[in-house]
Chain A
């Protein structure tokens, strides 16, 4: 059935600009490109669903096609919707676990010492490659002992002492893999006189969407909207996130793709650098100290899509002593769980190769990026340490 509100494919003028800038089409001829997979064939799929083409699954949902489209066609949304509306669903244990970041994270953090050791063993990796089709070359993120939420409890009372507060949507990565980033956020905001609260939350849904678990993504979305709404409504609190893709999901994927009503929380959700930028504009902002660091900055696709990149760059530019090389914006290739699958591994590495070469040419001491999976990809493929913009800001605030 044609939904009248979703016929943006009709605005496509067939200019092929999206295919030019599609990182996947550039890396492999197996993907015919967003124009053909999206608006071109959507009009046929509506009439004859059997015309669906398995090459749709090569799309990484990076959204770069939507950024460059001169006609405002929601190309990546069309492709994602076609994937779950028309492609035959096949249960794969690997995709189930890769998309359940909170379920897996919950298990792994309980056994982190054993789990981290176990998944780094070659025989285990080989088994994962053979049985699960997870490429053995892929470096897995380390799991923390226990969750961020649990550790946060010890400072929750102190945070409530601040008059001005924000709600922090920490996301799965901070909760299970990188507690330090969560506590860095707390220290940075505290330096600006702002306390941090957390609300009940579930995985934002990005990996679920990517693996076609749309009903589960909708349930998580509804849960997050309800709880963030309850936590912020009465006090007009801002929700901040340190993950560019979580922010993108909460703000845009919920309404555009999952068809959830997030209008209540939409205006209050900010990616952290945009929020910090507004704090730096205030008269009472604390002084920043020189950091003496040369860094290359990589802009993640989803931050680019929501227009957040200029804020990260502006925040970084205000840090004295940061010699910043802004890399030409390219997809790193990992695209969340995409690069964790054997069938896409070569494509994923091929997409990222331009970026890795640019990083090499920039001769940085560290690489800065906003996204947790971009960070994994860069750390795996270059010799450099990868930092979040907040890490550098924390250095400058005198940590």
Chain B
């Protein structure tokens, strides 16, 4: 097969890049080995959450230039501040076309509540997680209820409530935990204790149970008009279901990201894939790129596990294969490695240097900053040390940023994916004119 662009990896970085290229009229294929880390994400998109000293960044837009000046090797520095900013509007607009609306608190970060009851700064959240009405309610409401379905074992509202109470922001607010019972006829022979978020989300997706669920919520909320539920208010019709549930309960309802599978992440995944397909992109799922020939400083073709005999050709390639979790980098006794070509990586051989002694260290863990090294344009070096001129590396596969310590995971994926798309489009249209 021949394409203008082949992207290896179908997560948020690969899809952002693919949508950018496809929108410019380029023929584009994404090859994805299994579902992406979006299924394990909070479904909010971080931009820049913490300073180097661990302080929370209030206005990441204002802080970006300073951050870049202090971190010249950071992917944001390679993108450039302007590209980072336009990438954020780009992803919001693309998701909006699929009717998934992201909320951003102007130029400032906002907090979303985690399942543990901590607050995490983030830049974009889905409107069912945070919006202006919820922001308002946190200052005007005196009572919050955190509820769960009876039997759902991936969420403990009492713990969430306990931790929230410890936060000085909520010192004047009563926080209660409660349980609601699942409509029974749906579950013959199944123990509700086996349910995962997806099973419950399906019950929401079938709107017929909403009035009953709303009754249960009203009862358990005990007068609270601000209610937190684990994020399973619908898989496909979430806008309508969220709206209807608020109407039926007369309360403000916000979603709290759960343990995997993340329904919030799935919504982003579905929206981006739908958008990519609508633009004519080809999404090849369940296949793994296992090699390809680099000759004269350029990647000539790639091949995959499923098509041993057939090569895929493109003018440009993008490696968006993720970090260790997704297999974009692998760790071995003798060091870390990029598994497809053995591209140059940053990361010491000495394994004891990879981690901090404490699990929840304020400095996070050094291994999070290991990955593929690139030049200013995100182009990597082959094992011989020569730059591969038609291959861009984007997203979590990259070295030199720490998504946890900085709160930059989603932002780097989006910005680097978008930057690669811009460079590809410029070079192709530039060459044609």
Contacts and interface: CB of A to CB of B under 8 A. Distances in A.
Interface in A172-193: none
Contacts of A314: 1
Given A29-B188, A304-B286, A20 B194 contact: no
Contact of B40 (A15, A32, A69, A310): A15
A15 B260 contact: yes
A29 B286 contact: no
A307 B307 contact: yes
A328 B37 CA distance: 21
Contacts of B202: 26
B282 A310 contact: yes
A267 B282 contact: no
Nearest to A19: B198
Interface string A17-33: 10111000010011010
Interface in A247-306: 267, 274, 277-278, 304-306
Interface string B258-299: 001100001000000010010000101111100000000000
Interface string B184-220: 0011111000101011001000000000000000000
Contacts of B266: 20
Contacts of B35: 17, 21, 68-70
B189 A307 contact: no
Nearest to A281: B2
Given A21-B35, A32-B194, A306 B306 contact: yes
B286 A66 contact: yes
A277 B309 CA distance: 13
A258 to B, nearest CB: 19
Q: Which of A30, A68, A267, A306 has the most CB of B within 10 A?
A: A68
Q: Which of A69, A306, A310, A313 has the most CB of B within 10 A?
A: A310
B39 interface: yes
B353 interface: no
A15 B261 contact: yes
Contacts of A307: 284, 286-287, 304, 306-307
A16 interface: yes
Contacts, number: 81
Interface in B5-47: 29, 33-37, 39-40
Contacts of A66: 286
A72 interface: yes
Interface in A27-64: 29-30, 32, 36
A120 interface: no
A113 interface: no
Give the interface SS of chain A, mostly helix, strand, loop or mixed. Answer: helix
B62 interface: no
Interface string B67-101: 00000000000000000000000000000000000
A318 to B, nearest CB: 12
A315 to B, nearest CB: 11
B310 interface: yes
B198 A310 contact: no
A71 interface: yes
A67 interface: yes
Contacts of B261: 15-17, 19-20
Nearest to B285: A67
A326 interface: yes
Contact of A69 (B34, B36, B306, B310): B34
B3 to A, nearest CB: 10
A304 B307 CA distance: 13
A313 B198 CA distance: 31
Given A277-B1, A309-B284, 16 more contacts: A17-B39, A17-B261, A19-B261, A20-B266, A29-B199, A30-B189, A67-B285, A70-B34, A70-B36, A72-B33, A304-B285, A305-B286, A307-B287, A310-B1, A310-B282, A328-B274
9 contacts: A16-B198, A17-B39, A20-B39, A66-B286, A67-B34, A70-B34, A307-B304, A307-B306, A309-B284
Interface of B: 1, 29, 33-37, 39-40, 186-190, 194, 196, 198-199, 202, 260-261, 266, 274, 277, 282, 284-288, 304, 306-310, 326-327
Q: Which 10 A-B pairs have the closest CB atoms?
A: A67-B286, A70-B34, A307-B306, A68-B35, A307-B287, A16-B261, A17-B35, A20-B198, A29-B190, A69-B34
Interface of A: 15-17, 19-21, 26, 29-30, 32, 36, 66-72, 267, 274, 277-278, 304-307, 309-311, 313-314, 326, 328
